[in-house]
Amino acid sequence: MTDATTYLHAYDEQLRTDAETPSAVAVTRHGPLRLVTFAGGRGFVTYRDLGGADADAIRELVEVAVEHFRADDEITRVEWKTRGHDEAPGLHDALVSHGFEPGEPESIMIGPLSALAGLGEVPDGVTVRRVTTEGDVRAMSAMVDEAFGERVDARTADALLSRLARGDGMELWVAEVDGRMVSGGRLEPVPGTDFVGIWGGATLEAFRHRGIYRALTAARARSALAGGKTLVHSDSTEGSRPILERSGLIAVSTTTPYDWAR
């Protein structure tokens, strides 16, 4: 088998389980679906596969998922996470007809964690550190929202703080220039697997192309290696994908989020 085939098999077998959502407040099973509730009013739909369902059965699954989350007044938004290698006839049409909007496709990147550990030295004038205090977490969350061009959402910081309080293994890392946070991202060890996830990486536009994101990624990778992990996975935008490819990670599939808002 090629590396891509081996990695994709490991991804499906190890990550598309309850290990995918360690921070869930609640998980409801319906057929192949896992209907997940996160802190901060966020719902999430994922699955190992759709069990060979045809288009009519898939439409029924979408209807059940929407009604499940509609029934919880605290849920304000839901993401249905699709993967490009799944057999899912009619899923796009079913999601769109039930109010979901497709986001930008991202590459599912997998490779040896050690490849990222030497990705880049910290540039002069830059500090990379792990953050844990409420003030730092809120500042990081706001900066990442800004870097992604999104409205600052305090609920995201609330959810991160809730996870830190539960001690589910997540780590938050930032890079600073002259005391200002300019880049940040999460490290997500997946319990019971070889994997760690590198997520949420974002750098303010004025500070891109300086090696800051590479240094931030390397710091997270070294932390994960120290914790005994060997493989890394990440859903990467077109901006971060080339950096990960140059470090030996492989695009094994794609993922497209479909978002629903109350």
| C-alpha span between 232 and 190 (Å, rounded) | 10
- Considering the domain architecture, whether residues 121 and 54 belong to the same structural domain is answered as no
- Considering the domain architecture, whether residues 31 and 96 belong to the same structural domain is answered as yes
- Considering the domain architecture, whether residues 43 and 139 belong to the same structural domain is answered as no
- Considering the domain architecture, whether residues 124 and 207 belong to the same structural domain is answered as yes
Decide which of 80, 106, 132 is a domain's last residue.
106
Based on the structure, what is the number of domains in the chain? 2
Q: What is the pLDDT of residue 207?
A: 97
For the domain that residue 172 is a member of, what is the CATH number? 3.40.630.30
Task: Encode 106-133: b = buried (16+ Cβ within 10 Å), e = exposed.
Answer: bbbbbbbbbebbebbebeeebebeebee
pTM of the model: 0.79
Residues of the chain with confidence (pLDDT) below 70: 1-2
Decide which of 86, 106, 126 is a domain's last residue.
106
Is 254 part of any domain? no
Domain that holds residue 178: 114-229
- The pLDDT tens digits of the residues spanning 199-222 come to 888 999 999 999 999 999 999 999
| C-alpha span between 202 and 188 (Å, rounded) | 16
Q: What is the pLDDT of residue 168?
A: 85
- Considering the domain architecture, whether residues 145 and 224 belong to the same structural domain is answered as yes
- Say what percent of the chain tops pLDDT 70: 99
Alpha carbon separation from 37 to 41, 69, 151, 199, 260 (Å, rounded): 7, 9, 22, 19, 14
Q: What is the largest CA-CA distance in the chain?
A: 58
| C-alpha span between 98 and 206 (Å, rounded) | 39
Q: What is the pLDDT of residue 1?
A: 46
Alpha carbon separation from 17 to 126, 139, 161, 203, 260 (Å, rounded): 38, 32, 24, 30, 23
- Considering the domain architecture, whether residues 92 and 139 belong to the same structural domain is answered as no
- Considering the domain architecture, whether residues 144 and 74 belong to the same structural domain is answered as no
Is 258 part of any domain? no
